[in-house]
Amino acid sequence: MNDSVTASPIRVMIVDDHPMLRDGVVGSIKRQSDMVVVAEAGDGAAAIAAIEAASPDVVLMDLQMPGIDGVEAIQTISKKHPQVRILVLTTYVGDAKALRALKAGANGYLLKSAMRTDLIDAIRAVHGGGHHIPPEVATQIAVHAIGEALTEREIEILSLVAAGNPNKQIAWRLGVSEDTVKAHLKRTFAKLGVTDRTHAVTVAAKRGIIEL
């Protein structure tokens, strides 16, 4: 006899601000005899508000949402409901975003491009106490694990650079000298392995360190 059929179904909650994506996930889960969708939410605040009544076993969590984003929602849910397993659904391959989500309490990380083939197995894996991290994301994490992380100020300055601000404007906005901004950027370039502002922004965005 199949235990997955006779046991209580895995209670799944879907958190994503795109209704069409949620509909697709619901359709996939409905075809499984060992799973049931117990709630849907369009943002982190709605998820936090609904989770107690829904009592999910697994939460599928998007990272990029209006208001309370995925990482903040993961932190709140994992702190208040440590028994709930959280699987991130995202388009981001970058190591920085993955690490933030995993450090916040996520148990798995699934790229939306792989949902059609890997979603159901990933849900079962995290529900069973395991983890799910795509090989390409794990590789990115490993490659950058020994590198020095950017500081909050370095990320702040690089975000201002990405928004098109020159050093003088950045210095004025942050209340520091232009030489201080240049020094931060020099350290940032070294940490990212780049030699100019454009490449720094490109690499940081790809890794999920900043958002464009």
pLDDT in tens for each of the 212 residues of the chain? Answer: 444 445 799 999 999 999 999 999 999 999 999 999 999 999 999 999 999 999 999 999 998 888 888 999 999 999 999 999 999 998 877 778 888 899 899 999 999 999 999 999 999 999 999 999 888 888 888 777 767 888 989 999 999 999 999 999 999 999 999 999 999 999 999 988 899 999 999 988 888 888 87
For residue 200, report the phi and psi dihedrals to the nearest 5 degrees: -60, -45
Q: What is the CATH number of the domain that holds 76?
A: 3.40.50.2300
Residue 190 and residue 168 share a domain: yes
CA–CA gap between residue 22 and residue 95 (Å, rounded): 25
Residues 6+ apart with CB under 8 A from 81: 51, 52
Same domain, 21 and 53: yes
Residues 71 and 159 in one domain: no
**End of a domain among 143, 168, 196?**
143
11 with 80, same domain: the answer is: yes
Range of the domain at 187: 152-207
N-term to C-term CA, the chain? 52
**E strand residue ranges, the chain:** 10-15, 35-41, 58-62, 85-90, 108-111
What's the CA gap between 120 and 135, in Å, rounded?
Answer: 17
Give the count of domains, the chain: 2
Residue that is last in its domain, among 107, 123, 143: 143
| Shared-domain flag, residues 8 and 39 | yes
Q: Which two tokens stand for residue 198?
A: 């454009």
β-pair type (58-62, 35-41): unpaired
